[in-house]
Amino acid sequence: MEIALVLGMPLAGALVLALFGHRRWAPEASAFMSLGTLVAAALLTARVIADGPMTALNEQVFVDPFNVFLVALTAFVAFTTALFSRPYMRTEEHHKRVNSARLRLYHSMYQLFSFMMLLTLLSNNVGMLWVAMEGATLSTVLLVSLYRTPASLEAAWKYFILCSVGIAQALFGTILLYFAAEKVLGPGGNALLWTHLHEVRGELEPTVLSLAFVFLLVGYGTKVGLVPLHNWLPDAHAEGPTPISAVLSGLLLNVALYAVVRSKVLVDGALERNFSGGLMMGFGLLSVVVAAFFLSRQKDIKRMFAYSSIEHMGIMTFAFGMGGPVAAFAGLLHMTVHSLTKSAIFFTVGHASQACGTQDMASIRGLIQQSPAIGWGLALGTLAILGMPPFGVFTSEFMVLTTAMHEHWWATPFLLVSLGVAFAAIFGKVQPMVFGETTAQRQTHPPALVPVFVHLAIVLLLGLYIPPYLVDWYRQAAAFIG
């Protein structure tokens, strides 16, 4: 029942807002819808923890410890982003950058986007997973070009073309997977169902599976933003409205990585582990190193944090590539803390760019002096995302590095050098923005910074003490990933 609620709420929200999106109370409605989804997700999580994985809707939807944690995370961040977008969108409307028609589009697409993401996470049918992922891309393309500026159009166009082409490869991979599965499970519907595939993954045909994994990795890898395929990500995350950048950076990348990990689990059965693990580690390491060196040349703040997302996705892919319970645990923890921190940073960046009227880092100065909440939020968020210890990002990076030193010691120097370079680049640019004489003006609508500090508090908590139920929840998921 909860699954119906989790999926139904955002869909209903999308429809309602499609009709009444331009009304005054639309942002509140959207926030309320997201809150409903969050509550449903919480109930679902409790249910799954209580009595283990379950399927529903004649096995089309499947819930296990791995995706239920992502569902809860997605619902929570979607809710906080909705809260943040209330004042943000009103200020944008106040600045005449969006009219009410576009607001209607924005709110309905936002709810549709969260529906698509939840569907991707929950769908047991690999084909439906692809369709939902494509749906998520479609729903965000129009949002990226919401402001109709040449740059946002260019970003949206590239985002759409590159992601559609990427996901098309994923479709071919799904077809090959289905082809291999059909030989074992026979024709009919359940050859695409992940649960069946999972049981029978031992006897699947190795050559087909390796080909399928390549297509799936390239396909969903484009959505994750791994380096050779990352070019759309900085433009898309920088040009769209900030709530969209927050959700894209925070959640969509996780969902894409979820899809890659799902296919890795299947492929591991057939081939011995180092094939898929090796590929993912290679891509992950390449992303971390290249993204780190991109950072120091950035002028636009959201573009810089987009590159930082590429770097963190690289770390996660590397962690999942390494495999083993500790690395998987680290990967999951990194997914959580990265989403929370990155969305918190985008909230503060949104308010900061509105306060200073530009996203160009050279002209944002002295945030702490003008509005301490935004200034301190950005400072602490940046320090958290850079992996400074009291925060949770350091915990997962510590686990990733220590397991890497344990198994693949040659990779650690690359990781550490790029972490150092990233630290120098990002902090070098953020510090003058936070400290010094201010250039920010008073804003019309008071900034909603409660979500920022809630996120950072959770990340700080995860840094020092991971509550036991969360630990064995991650452990189950990590064991599941293998």
Task: Pick out residues in 293-322 that bind other proteins (CB under 8 A).
Answer: 293-297
Is 374 near other proteins (CB under 8 A)?
Answer: no
- Could you give the CA distance from residue 407 to residue 395 in angstroms, rounded to a whole number? 18
> Which residues face 62 on adjacent strands?
55
> Which residues face 125 on adjacent strands?
193
Is 412 near other proteins (CB under 8 A)?
Answer: yes
Is 446 near other proteins (CB under 8 A)?
Answer: no
Among the candidate windows 94-102, 213-221, 241-249, 346-354, which touches other proteins by CB under 8 A?
A: 213-221
Among the candidate windows 20-28, 37-45, 240-248, 402-410, which touches other proteins by CB under 8 A?
A: 402-410
> Which of 8/325 has CB closer to other proteins?
325
Helical pair 100-122 and 2-20, crossing angle rounded to 10 deg: 160
Query: From the list 59, 475, 480, 482, which residue makes contact with other proteins (rule: CB under 8 A)?
Result: 475
465 Cβ contact partners less than 8 Å away, ≥ 6 residues apart: none
Min separation Cβ 421 and other proteins, Å: 6
Min separation Cβ 211 and other proteins, Å: 6
Asked if 375 and 434 touch (Cβ cutoff 8 Å), the reply is yes
Query: From the list 9, 122, 156, 270, which residue makes contact with other proteins (rule: CB under 8 A)?
Result: 156
Is 323 near other proteins (CB under 8 A)?
Answer: no
Query: From the list 20, 398, 414, 453, which residue makes contact with other proteins (rule: CB under 8 A)?
Result: 398
- Could you give the CA distance from residue 291 to residue 220 in angstroms, rounded to a whole number? 18
Is 383 near other proteins (CB under 8 A)?
Answer: yes
Of 123, 8, 115, 112, nearest to 57 by C-alpha is: 123
Query: From the list 3, 217, 288, 456, which residue makes contact with other proteins (rule: CB under 8 A)?
Result: 217
The Cβ of residue 471 has, within 10 Å, a number of other Cβ atoms equal to 12
> Which of 66/394 has CB closer to other proteins?
394
Residue 397 identity (one-letter amino acid)? E
Query: From the list 175, 184, 454, 458, which residue makes contact with other proteins (rule: CB under 8 A)?
Result: 175
Backbone angle region of 236, left / alpha / beta, with phi > 0 → left and psi within -120 to 50 → alpha: alpha
Asked if 301 and 232 touch (Cβ cutoff 8 Å), the reply is no
- Could you give the CA distance from residue 56 to residue 51 in angstroms, rounded to a whole number? 14
Query: What sign results for the dihedral spanned by CA atoms 353, 356, 357, 358?
Result: negative
Min separation Cβ 445 and other proteins, Å: 24
Q: Spell out the alpha helix ranges (H) of 186-300.
A: 194-199, 206-224, 232-239, 242-247, 253-270, 274-294
Is 428 near other proteins (CB under 8 A)?
Answer: yes
Min separation Cβ 346 and other proteins, Å: 18
Min separation Cβ 235 and other proteins, Å: 5
> Which of 77/218 has CB closer to other proteins?
218
> Which of 362/444 has CB closer to other proteins?
362
The Cβ of residue 271 has, within 10 Å, a number of other Cβ atoms equal to 15
> Which of 32/172 has CB closer to other proteins?
172
Is 359 near other proteins (CB under 8 A)?
Answer: no
- Could you give the CA distance from residue 303 to residue 425 in angstroms, rounded to a whole number? 13
Asked if 347 and 452 touch (Cβ cutoff 8 Å), the reply is yes
Tokens representing residue 422 in the block: 């990233």
Query: From the list 13, 135, 240, 241, which residue makes contact with other proteins (rule: CB under 8 A)?
Result: 135
What residues between 62 and 121 interact with other proteins by CB under 8 A? none
Contacts with other proteins by CB under 8 A: the residue count is: 108
The CA-based angle 86-88-91, given to 5 degrees, is 110
Place of tokens 């994750």: 224
Query: From the list 199, 406, 446, 450, which residue makes contact with other proteins (rule: CB under 8 A)?
Result: 406
Query: From the list 20, 32, 147, 178, which residue makes contact with other proteins (rule: CB under 8 A)?
Result: 178
Is 414 near other proteins (CB under 8 A)?
Answer: no
